[in-house]
Structure 1
Amino acid sequence: MSAAIEASGLGKRYGRTWALRDCSLTIPAGHVVGLVGPNGAGKTTLLSLAVGLATPTAGQVRVAGGRTAGSAAALDAVAFVAQEAALYRNLSVADMLRVGRSLNRRWDTGRAQSRLAELGVPLTKKVGALSGGQRSQVALTLALAKCPELLILDEPLAALDPVARHDFMSALLAAVSEDGVSVVFSSHVVAELERVCDYVVVVHGGRIQVSGEVEELVAGHHVLTGPTEHADAVSRRFPVVRDRRAFAQAHLLVRAPDPAAAPPGWQHHSIGLEELLLAYMREPSASVLPGPKPAPDKQIAC
């Protein structure tokens, strides 16, 4: 299967400060991918590099089946929706469609008009007079009208209320189902990822913490509960993501494909996606990740 995004040794530095480093990642095509991490983790930097809005300091990134990010071929195949959608508030929706048609070599005006009609977004209305949810739908429509192979969205839900978030994601999933487009979107709304994503990537401190298909990641992590005095021995046996110890009992979230491998006297419990993602977001663990630890440079918000 071709890759939606493939990064090798990818890094971005501003002066002496790294926003992203040592990023090697392959996201297979055909997935709805959630990119998650705390503020300043490197999510926007990774997406900007994939779209071609930024140039790598180190390594390389290819998109949509091996196209170099930012190349003419990649620009034709990739659509991008930023958190602050690039919409002209004084233009009508119809005028925005004409702008999109003039800026892209591939464009489906009929599909865009039909989609907005189904959503009840009037073409004659100025963008600035639309609700936040309607503006987000216009931005998504402009992206889909490019007929992309890969759709990248940076925090598309951040400014939307719960109803608008639900409507946006429903419309996005419908488009994915119809066109088979690969989707990568960053989000802080961890609770909603399980409903819409089948693949996740966690970024923390400018580095990839974990990535993979949702079902495989959830099945491959377990909470082991047992006597604190034996916790060190367990942590040497399994990669530990989260370590919680009280005087008598320890709770270790470990990456272990076989829960039956728990030591005698220890119980194992399954874990949900939200708890798993939050653990990686809170506690990046060198025991889980290969490679050297990051140097003590400052990380920047990105």
Structure 2
Amino acid sequence: MRTDVVVSTRGLSKRYGKLLALDDCDLDLPSGRVVALVGPNGAGKTTLLRLIAGLLHPTTGSVSVLGQDAATDTVAALSRIGFVAQEHPLYKRFRVGELLRLGRELNPGWDQAYAERRLADLGIAPHRRAAQLSGGQQAQVALALALAKRPRLLVLDEPLASLDPLARREFLRSLMTAVADDTITVLFSSHVVTELERVCDHLILIDEGRIRLADDLDSLLAGHRLLVGPRNGHTVETLRAAEGVLTVVHGERHVNVVARTGQGPTAPGWQAHALSLEDLVHAYLENSQRARTQARPFQEGSPR
């Protein structure tokens, strides 16, 4: 594996019985980046993260992390990966101090002073039981436990899902402080796309178990534009057929087209506008959904 790549997958697939959760995924995750993993529910995000973290084994293909098979469950291999799941699993009857002591016993590179300092800064006392903490505080404890391992790769599976806006902001602030203080790679899955744009610099978009986009965020945003032009004479079908066009929305007088830069309809009266990360993600998902709908064969008796 190249030294600038932390995770590499080739032909990675995962089946649960008849369900194909991941389908032939090739992916290289760059080192030292904060990577957003986005996609709709059921797209395969959690399956991919658990394969990378070594919690699942692939049906076919391979996944390597830091040059080793992800399924290598040696103490040394596991200590290089921090993992925070959506439900922030903690032993609820344990006190915070007991959780830190458990982390110290299980991880050879454990940094006790770092964990204690992070939680003290957040006002989370060591004598409090995990069950007594708010959702945001439990998320912060789970993050502290993962970071105190001093991992080279931190995997976060929807850590913001159950948090209120203030707790989300505090969690992201803590995460970015940790990333600034230490050179780690973060792979971050979340539905809160607007929050991701502020903290992530690389994007992976997955849909129906396949990687649809994987690139630097700045390059992707620079490579796409919202084109706005007069409606006269342009049909949805004609615009969608143009090269590079992802989505077309007709208004009463204007047409909005999301397209790759340098492609798509350009003519006098058209204007180009920058896209947000949320706009870009939605455009690709809408394009993918429309392609699936068009590919389905018509069945007699089904609604037209």
TM range (shorter): 0.7 to 0.9
Tell me whether 1:18 sits opposite 2:23 in the alignment: no
Distance 1:243 1:66, change over 3 A: farther
In structure 2, what is the equivalent of residue 297 of structure 1?
Answer: none
Look up the match of 1:278: 282
Task: Tell me which residue corresponds to 1:35.
Answer: 37
CA-CA distance at 1:13 after TM superposition: 0.9
Work out whether residues 53 and 81 of structure 2, in 8 Å CA contact, stay in contact via their aligned partners in 1: yes
Following TM superposition, by how much is the alpha carbon of 1:145 offset from its aligned partner in structure 2, in angstroms?
A: 0.9
TM-score, normalised with respect to structure 1: 0.86
Q: Is the 8 A contact 2:240 2:246 kept in 1?
A: no
| Within-5 A mapping of 1:97-246 | 97-226=100-229, 229=234, 235=240, 238-245=243-250
Q: Deviations over 1:134-189 (max 9, x none)?
A: 11111011101111000001010111111111111100000000011110111111
Aligned letter for 2:285?
M
TM (norm. structure 2) is: 0.86
Q: How far did residue 234 of structure 1 move? A: 5.8
Q: Secondary structure at the match of 2:278?
A: helix
Give, in whole Å, the separation in 1 of the partners of 2:255 and 2:10. 37
Q: CA deviation at 1:282?
A: 3.2
Alignment of 1:67 onto 2:68: yes
Identity %: 45
Q: Is the 8 A contact 1:228 1:249 kept in 2?
A: no
How many residue pairs align between the two structures? 286
**Which structure is higher in RCO with an 8 Å CA cutoff and minimum separation 6?**
1
- Cα-Cα RMSD: 2.4
Of 97, 100, 104, 1:94 maps to 97
Partner residue, 1:299: none
Specify the code of the residue in structure 2 equivalent to 1:82: A
1:164–1:230: structure 2 CA closer, same or farther, 3 Å change rule? closer
Letter in 2 for 1:279: A
Q: Which moved more, 1:264-273 or 1:173-182?
A: 264-273
Q: Any unmatched runs of 5+ in structure 2?
A: 297-304
How far did 1:38 drift?
Answer: 1.2
> Within 1, Cα distance between the matches of 2:7 and 2:233?
42
Structure-2 separation of matches of 1:279 and 1:70: 35
Greater mean deviation of Cα atoms: 167-176 or 212-221: 212-221
Deviation, 1:129, is 1.0
- The answer to whether the 8 Å contact 1:81/1:139 transfers is yes
Query: What is the DSSP-based 3-state SS (H/G/I as helix, E as strand, rest coil) of the residue aligned with 1:46?
Result: helix
Q: Distance in 2 between matches of 1:112 and 1:53?
A: 24
Gaps of 5+ in 1: 288-292, 295-302
